[in-house]
């Protein structure tokens, strides 16, 4: 069955924090450190018992997995929009799991983009104005912390729902599977050739001088520096209530976009052998036929390619545990990966502000004495806590190296 990207917009209940000590930021750091450094977390739990506390015997959620992830099966991270908020990109859902940014916002669906020239004009006009913000945005401390967790051997792979390319930019040597594609490229619907978005932006500017002038004006006033509609209006950005750009002299229907150069040079063939020509106007803008360029992202209503779907599933199957960061798992494609991990008995962690779709099911059967090794659920800002978690694990590494294998756990336990 093809895996389709569909938004899930029902309100989500607030999370139950696991363990309860993770309600504070320092408690969340400690629990996340235990989750990501579970060998140490287990030793600490044992030390707590032997120190005379009347806690029940510690039990891993799935004891049979304790050995096979030793040094081999690392944590798989599954990240969403929440990890990119600090880079200046709007969270799709906002901190309380609701659509706060723009209540009437409705993303374009794949079938609309493929079928309708008008829908594509509108999409590319808005994308033309929005691209500068994304191109100027950079990975933040959370992405850097993820890269460091890879270097420290705690994280083996990243699956991201984000299309902003921040993971591959921040940590090129830690593999990233981009579940929903990437905005840095375009792909031709006819021949599947990919092109860089930055070049396409220049072509859009040449084909749409009035829009280009408007964009330059908005960049000059700083109206595009914020995602806040009120602030944008104050800086001269004219928008109607649903956030659409309102430019009287340059309506969407006049917007033009280029056709695929490969299809123009060598028209693709239909199944019956006839040539599928791409027609362009005098300036090179697409008019009809083949060679329609689409952003290389999986749009809503579009199926994820079989290769990406399989790669993401294999990443779950090869992982020792799964930690979700900055995602409400609103899309089924992401949610089912965590469900798959749960079914395979992997410990699950979630670091996300606000509720997560169906999360109570991921934490069934977690023992009350769990410190974070078997499960963690906290509602904290990723770029705030992840660098601190990295620091804690680096400290453990230093102490482990300094004191040999015997007393390392005891020495380290005193520092947290």
User: What does the longest C-alpha to C-alpha distance in the chain come to?
Assistant: 83
Q: Is 262 in the site for Zn ion (CB under 5 A)?
A: yes
Count of residues that bind Zn ion according to CB under 5 A: 7
| CB-nearer residue toward Zn ion: 165 or 262 | 262
* Nearest of 391, 352, 355 to residue 84 by alpha carbon: 352
Look up residue 304 and give its two tokens. 């994820």
| CB-nearer residue toward Zn ion: 189 or 411 | 189
Least distance from C-beta 63 to Zn ion, angstroms?
54
Q: How far apart are the first and last CA of the chain?
A: 47
Q: Is 191 in the site for Zn ion (CB under 5 A)?
A: yes
Q: Torsions phi, psi of 376, nearest 5?
A: -145, 140
Of 28, 85, 186, 188, which one interacts with Zn ion (CB under 5 A)? 188
- Sole window of 256-264, 314-322, 349-357, 382-390 interacting with Zn ion (rule: CB under 5 A): 256-264
Binding flags for Zn ion, 131-170, as an x/- string (CB under 5 A): ----------------------------------------
Q: Is 292 in the site for Zn ion (CB under 5 A)?
A: no
- Sole window of 16-24, 57-65, 111-119, 262-270 interacting with Zn ion (rule: CB under 5 A): 262-270
Q: Is 338 in the site for Zn ion (CB under 5 A)?
A: no
Q: Is 378 annotated as a binding residue?
A: no
CB neighbours of 376 closer than 8 A, spacing ≥ 6? 18, 19, 22, 28, 31, 32, 34, 35, 323, 349, 350, 351
Which residue among the candidates 38, 143, 171, 180 is catalytic per the annotation? 180
| CB-nearer residue toward Zn ion: 291 or 326 | 291
Contact 328, 94 (CB under 8 A): no
Active-site residue, 180 included: yes
Beta bridge partners of 177: 159
| CB-nearer residue toward Zn ion: 193 or 201 | 193
Least distance from C-beta 211 to Zn ion, angstroms?
24
- Sole window of 63-71, 109-117, 162-170, 258-266 interacting with Zn ion (rule: CB under 5 A): 258-266
| CB-nearer residue toward Zn ion: 258 or 354 | 258
Q: Is 260 annotated as a binding residue?
A: yes
Q: Is 263 in the site for Zn ion (CB under 5 A)?
A: yes
Least distance from C-beta 280 to Zn ion, angstroms?
12
| CB-nearer residue toward Zn ion: 260 or 348 | 260
Q: Name residue, tokens 């200046």.
A: 88
Of 190, 208, 371, 379, which one interacts with Zn ion (CB under 5 A)? 190
- Sole window of 191-199, 204-212, 236-244, 312-320 interacting with Zn ion (rule: CB under 5 A): 191-199
Beta bridge partners of 157: 76
Q: Which residues bind Zn ion (CB under 5 A)?
A: 188, 190-191, 260, 262-263, 291
Any idea which residues carry the catalytic annotation? Answer: 180
Binding residues for Zn(2+): 188, 191, 260, 263
């Amino acid at each position: 069955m093809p895996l389709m990207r569909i938004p899930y917009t029902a309100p989500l209940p607030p999370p139950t924090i696991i363990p309860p000590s993770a309600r504070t930021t320092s408690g969340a750091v400690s629990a996340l450190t235990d989750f990501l450094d579970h060998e140490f977390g287990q030793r600490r739990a044992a030390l707590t018992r032997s120190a005379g506390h009347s806690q029940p015997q510690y039990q891993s959620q799935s004891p049979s997995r304790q050995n096979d992830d030793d040094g081999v099966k690392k944590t798989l991270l599954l990240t969403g929009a929440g990890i990119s908020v600090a880079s200046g990109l709007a969270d799709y859902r906002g901190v309380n799991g609701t659509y706060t940014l723009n209540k009437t916002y409705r993303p374009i669906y794949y079938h609309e983009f493929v079928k309708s020239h008008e829908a594509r004009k509108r999409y590319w006009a808005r994308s033309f104005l929005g691209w500068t913000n994304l191109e100027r945005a950079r990975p933040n401390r959370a992405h850097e912390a993820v890269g460091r967790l890879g270097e420290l051997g705690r994280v083996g792979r990243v699956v991201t729902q984000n299309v902003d390319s921040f993971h591959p930019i921040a940590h090129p040597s830690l593999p990233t599977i981009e579940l929903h594609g990437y905005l840095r490229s375009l792909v031709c619907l006819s021949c599947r050739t990919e092109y860089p978005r930055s070049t396409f932006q220049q072509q859009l500017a040449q084909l749409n001088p009035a829009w280009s002038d408007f964009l330059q004006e908005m960049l000059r006033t700083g109206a595009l520096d914020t995602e806040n509609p009120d602030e944008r209006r104050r800086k001269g950005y004219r928008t109607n209530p649903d956030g659409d750009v309102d430019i009287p002299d340059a309506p969407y229907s006049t917007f033009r976009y280029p056709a695929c150069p490969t299809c123009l040079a060598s028209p693709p063939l239909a199944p019956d052998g006839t040539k599928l020509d791409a027609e362009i106007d005098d300036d090179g803008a697409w008019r009809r036929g083949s060679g329609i360029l689409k952003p290389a992202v999986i749009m809503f209503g579009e199926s994820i390619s079989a290769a990406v779907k399989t790669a993401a599933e294999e990443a779950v199957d090869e992982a020792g545990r799964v930690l979700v960061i900055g995602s409400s798992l609103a899309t089924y494609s992401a949610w089912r990966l965590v469900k798959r991990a749960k079914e395979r008995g992997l410990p699950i962690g979630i670091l996300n502000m606000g509720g997560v779709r169906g999360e109570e099911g991921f934490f069934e059967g977690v023992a009350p004495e769990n410190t974070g090794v078997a499960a963690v659920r906290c509602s904290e800002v990723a770029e705030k806590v992840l660098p601190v978690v990295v620091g804690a694990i680096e400290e453990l590494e230093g102490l482990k190296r300094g004191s040999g294998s015997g007393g390392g756990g005891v020495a380290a336990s005193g520092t947290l």
